[in-house]
Chain A
Amino acid sequence: MLILDCPHCGPRNSSEFRHAGTSRERPDATSVTAEKWRDYLYTQQNAAGWVRENWYHAMGCRRYIAIERDTVTNRTRPSDARGATPRGTDATVGTSADSNQETAT
């Protein structure tokens, strides 16, 4: 169980949070090309190493916070933008289609 350092609440168990994707910029939906848009929707950096990502403190302050995490070791550190508003949360996660997903094997 990771500890995430919430800028509003302090260090908390990661079970209080929901992972909200790596940070990325949402293109302007009215002018974007299909190619760029789907690149934004689907293509992932999926880096092995430090990434800047957003977490939603669902069972705490209910704020989106920015965290830096090493995806290989799961070590975390507060983002440079600690306390700042996270931008560009991954808009493809967290929809009911995902949360209602069942497990199959």
Chain B
Amino acid sequence: MNDLRLPPRAGEVLERSSPVTFTWDGRSYTGLTGDTIVSALLANGVQVFSRSFKYSRPRGVLTASFLDPGCTVQVGDEPNVRAGHRQLTPGIDVRPQNVWPSLRFDPRVANQAVGRFLTAGFYYKTFMRPQRLWPAYQHVLAQFASGGRTSPSAEHGDYDKRYAHAEVVVAGAGPAGMAAALAAARAGVRVMLVEEEHALGGHLRWGGATELERLAELRAAVRGEPGIEVLVNSVVTGRYDDNWLAILQRGLPHVVERLIKARAATLVVAAGLIERPYVFSGNDLPGVMLATAARRLINLYAVRPGTRAVVLTANTEGDLAAADLLGAGVDLVRVVDARRGEGITRATGRGRLRAVELFDGSRVDADLLVTSTGWTAPTSLLNMAGVAPVWDDTSARFRPPEDLPDTVFATGGIVGDGSLDELLAHGKAVGTAAAARARGGRPAPVTALPARPHPALFRSPTHGFVDFSEDVTSKDIFAAAQEGYDSSELVKRFTTATMGPSQGKLETVNTVAVLAEATGRDVGQLGTTVWRPPYAPISLGALAGVSFEATRRSSIHAWHQAHGAVPLVAGQWIRPDSYGDAVAEARNVRCNVGIIDVTPLGKLDLRGPDVPKLLNLVYVNKWSKLAVGSVRYGVMCAEDGVVFDDGVTGRLEQDRYLMSTTSSGAAAVWEWLENWLQTEHPEWQVHVTPVTTAYTSINVAGPRSRELLSRLVDGVNLEPDAFPYMHVRTGRIAGVDECLLWRIGFTGELSYEIHVPASYGLHVWESLLEVGDDLGVAAFGVEAQRILRLEKGHLIVGQDTDGLTKAASAGLEWLIKLDKDDFVGKAELTWASELPARAPQLVALLPTDPNIVPAEASQIVREAERIGGRITSSRRSPELGRAICLGQVDPDLATSGTVVTVQLPDGRRVEATVMTELAFVDPPGERLRA
């Protein structure tokens, strides 16, 4: 250790016996357990931690806290670490950011020389010509981007989330916050006390013997109160509607950060005060710092911040800083008391502070200038609760109005000033009220904590930095105002003041005050900009937490995997796209028999006497006469007549139906039915139960499907006369009772869709394969099904239709029964039927060249290079040995025999002929009905 580390201090947070070794900028240093990165480096004589964003000026300590604008560093693969807050851990690799090529030498320092030309917003006024060079300029500008580095191989790290259910959350554990938490807990409510620093106590921590004694008492009281959960190194970072709180917890073992989500009945904001920098020439020189910074460094970290000091003070904090400096053996050469009209003009030095010029013209050599010129109330959480802070001339700061929302309270420095006893009393009163409110009471308002008068000090007669991290000076603000950017919002946007990492916590008031000076208005008139969440930055990892993305698999999934299924992500479902050769699978269905897992197909069990009314309402066709044992295809439209789902519904018993929907539409259709039942027809007796995953669904398709099933089915006569096309039966399959069999055919072949209680799905699947071996049975995947359905001309909602396709344009005119009383979409479909068609029509298209399959989405080009439609589905048909398509075409092109031009993605053009029917294979449907 060297002489920069002071002898032990009463309030220090260091473990003297526990050194920690780390690297900074490639060199090894040693600090102590309890040190922040900054305090450890300062104790080692390091004073410059970064170079500034625009002018490349060396920057040292300003606040010695989380907010310190010059102390943002890279730690390993983690960028933008706040070195004034982050504690040392053994072996960390700390590097400066924004210092290419090194902290000591930086060619961008030349920017300082040309600084007079780089006024705020200068980039809006240049780099315009020649236009083609802008990307080059942009690359140069981008080199100036501040901040650390990421890497595509950076570790993701582990993150965590937690829900908390505290009744009262206290944000800030200074004396008032601690008193509030104690009072609330003693009133019997569950309290969470959240402190951003590493320990409880707020400003008491860097106080004198009395403060430390009182702090010890308070800490003991908090420890002794089981109703208080204490979180340190944590911050209430967002307050959302109805007191939904985001609390960021740092420094936990094994996780990078944790996001706690808490619904607090009441929130007590006790965020204290942030010391405000003073604006003067040279205010960013290393060696210039705030009084709170000096006091923290001396009292918490036992670091001597300088050797010859000047103190500019306008309040008690400055006076105490002067006393602390003396106590730390610093040569206190001058105390400049702003309350007596004294002041400083500028600070000078090259790369670090050398001298301070005073109002009286004298020049004092010093390597440390400590300023204490005012406070900013961090009202962010109150802002997020809809509270607008009000400028108070007396105390020269924005303060929250007395009237807060009834679930939000504030105490401590953020509302006013007082002796320690007054702060504790106010905190106690607020905590008691917050507890009462949390339990539904209507507590009387707490007497306000008054704010003490404070001189309004923002800027010396010289210009200096207003926003350190953005390199914005008061001169820039003056210039912006003169150019017309003269409101708080415009000046912020134009100069980028307050846009940096501390989001205005240090800068907003000075920005507004300088703007007020520049425009001859007062601060209150201009008002402050709105503070947005988060209060403290939070990692994407913590926000994301552990991913709980739902994935759905059928009961046959493991079999698919074991048999080489190519997975297809279909919404939440993972399905077999094919088992390697989709064309062979499709051929096998046409020749023999295939089975496909169609479990994701939506299934709704409908019961009650009024089901036919519901079906008549939501489908475009008629349902009143559906006999028990019959199945019908239906299409659903929205009220604007646009198709949104299709499927078949069968009547299983007198009052029991099973409805199937598309896989992707299953959830929406269920809700859709509930909507109509609950809001328009609550008198109907219908109960809807989703049974999609209660069943495993298998489609058995192909000319030999009947024979295959007959080997496994009991109690159902499968003969064509007994179980014709579009009928449903209930029976036993492979020994499994309560199976449903639908005779329908998406593939165009004789086929049966069987729905088996899900736990027996795999058993039935394997049984089918086993007993059908001699019939050539084989599994087929989604791709083979797509080929087959296209050959049959069966449309897919959402692929062959789109967000504007009405039922009549989708080749479904035959289905729509406009003579029905009322159904969803009827009005629009009726009017559409009365007008000549103007919407694109769905047609089958046969490419002239049988060997060219136009890619789906290929456009149909008509005269004058206009678009006349598009290919919606296309495949090579194994059955026909040629290309086939479905497409949407302009109505005048939809006539059978029309030859259209299709532009392929590679630019070639081919022709295709519009067919009479959508089906290419078996248009009359003889196979289906076999």
Contact = CB atoms under 8 A, between A and B. Distances in A.
Do these two chains interact?
yes
Interface of A: 1-3, 13, 18, 20, 26, 28-30, 32, 34, 37, 41, 54, 56, 58, 62-64, 73-74, 85-89, 91-92, 94-97, 99-100
Interface residues of B, number: 37
Interface stretch (B648-656, B678-686, B873-881): B678-686
B351 interface: no
Given A32-B827, A97-B638, A54 B644 contact: no
A2 B639 contact: no
Contact of A94 (B241, B642, B675, B680): B675
B678 A2 contact: no
A18 B667 CA distance: 12
Interface stretch (B315-323, B493-501, B818-826): B818-826
Contact of B644 (A29, A86, A97): A97
A54 B638 contact: no
Interface-centre pick from A41, A85, A97 (highest chain B CB count, 10 A): A97
Contact of B638 (A63, A85, A87, A95): A95
B171 interface: no
20 contacts: A1-B242, A1-B263, A2-B242, A3-B263, A30-B827, A32-B827, A34-B827, A56-B671, A64-B675, A85-B679, A87-B679, A89-B680, A92-B638, A92-B639, A95-B644, A96-B645, A96-B662, A96-B668, A96-B797, A100-B664
Contacts of B824: 91
Contacts of B797: 96
B241 A1 contact: yes
B240 interface: yes
A47 B821 CA distance: 34
B668 A94 contact: yes
B425 interface: no
B803 interface: yes
B679 A88 contact: yes
Contact of A91 (B240, B241, B638, B667): B638
Contact of A30 (B242, B682, B826): B826
A86 B679 CA distance: 5
B831 interface: yes
Interface in B237-296: 240-242, 244, 263
Contacts of B682: 85
A64 B677 CA distance: 10
Given A37-B827, A62-B674, A89-B675, A96 B798 contact: yes
Contacts of A95: 638, 642, 644, 668, 672
Contact of B664 (A1, A86, A92, A96): A96
Nearest to B677: A64
B640 A92 contact: yes
Q: Which secondary structure characterizes the binding site on chain B?
A: mixed
Nearest to B822: A29
B90 interface: no
Contacts of A63: 678
A92 B821 CA distance: 20
Interface string B784-819: 000000000000011000010000000000000000
A73 B824 CA distance: 35
B680 A87 contact: yes
B678 A64 contact: yes
B678 A85 contact: yes
Given A20-B675, A73-B386, A96 B665 contact: yes
B635 to A, nearest CB: 12
Interface-centre pick from A30, A91, A95 (highest chain B CB count, 10 A): A95
A92 B641 CA distance: 11
Contacts of A73: 386
Contacts of B644: 95-97
B669 interface: yes
A78 to B, nearest CB: 14
A82 B241 CA distance: 22
A86 B827 contact: no
A34 B679 contact: no
A57 to B, nearest CB: 10
Contacts of A29: 822-823, 826-827
B678 A86 contact: yes
A58 B662 CA distance: 20
A97 B826 contact: no
B586 to A, nearest CB: 27
B828 to A, nearest CB: 8
A100 B644 CA distance: 10
Interface in B814-849: 821-824, 826-828, 831
Given A1-B240, A95-B644, A56 B674 contact: yes
A98 to B, nearest CB: 8
Given A2-B241, A96-B669, A30 B675 contact: no
Contacts of A13: 263
